[in-house]
């Protein structure tokens, strides 16, 4: 019943920008903390960024600090990932995830999340 739908991925040259969106339906969005993860071919799923339901506070992986920004718009039931200064190593499928009343200490753990989107492909060329 709860669905997450990502969009905004695509092909971009190194140094370029993309903004990913994730729309949540079937849930009261303001009760949920949200996270972004990514998975490149042959690699483990990796935490990218998270945002809590209150505050809000954010957390970013070291690999994307200063380049990526997570934000949320509760009126639109949407979480965003603004991706700037993209590098080829950012190439991956990006997944949106949701967890009711997400705690900051658990936000980087994929196992903490209850719902996942289908993913959107981001490809950064040299």
Question: Rounded to the nearest 5°, which phi and psi values hold at 3?
Answer: -130, 140
Band of residue 102 on the pLDDT scale cut at 50, 70, 90 = confident
pLDDT of residue 103: 82
Tens digit of each residue's pLDDT (9 = 90 or more) over 44-93: 999 999 999 988 999 999 999 999 999 999 999 999 999 999 999 999 99
User: How high is the pLDDT of residue 47?
Assistant: 97
Structure-block tokens of residue 119: 């993913």
Helices and strands in the chain: count of H runs, count of E runs: 0, 11
CB-CB neighbours of 55 under 10 Å: 8
Residue 110 — φ and ψ, nearest 5°? -60, -35
Distance (Å, whole) CA 116 – CA 110: 10
pLDDT tens-digit readout, 5-38: 999 999 999 999 999 999 999 999 999 999 999 9
């Amino acid at each position: 019943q709860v669905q997450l739908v990502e969009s905004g991925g695509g092909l971009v040259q190194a140094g370029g920008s993309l903004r990913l969106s994730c729309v949540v339906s079937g849930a009261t969005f303001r009760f949920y903390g949200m996270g972004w993860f990514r998975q490149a071919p042959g690699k483990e799923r990796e935490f990218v960024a998270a945002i809590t339901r209150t505050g809000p506070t954010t957390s970013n992986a070291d690999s994307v600090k200063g380049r990526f920004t997570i934000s949320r718009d509760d009126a639109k039931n949407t979480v965003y990932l603004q991706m700037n200064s993209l590098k080829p190593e950012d190439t991956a499928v990006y997944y949106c995830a949701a967890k009711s009343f997400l705690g900051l200490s658990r936000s980087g753990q994929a196992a903490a999340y209850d719902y996942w989107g289908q993913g959107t492909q981001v490809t950064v060329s040299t």
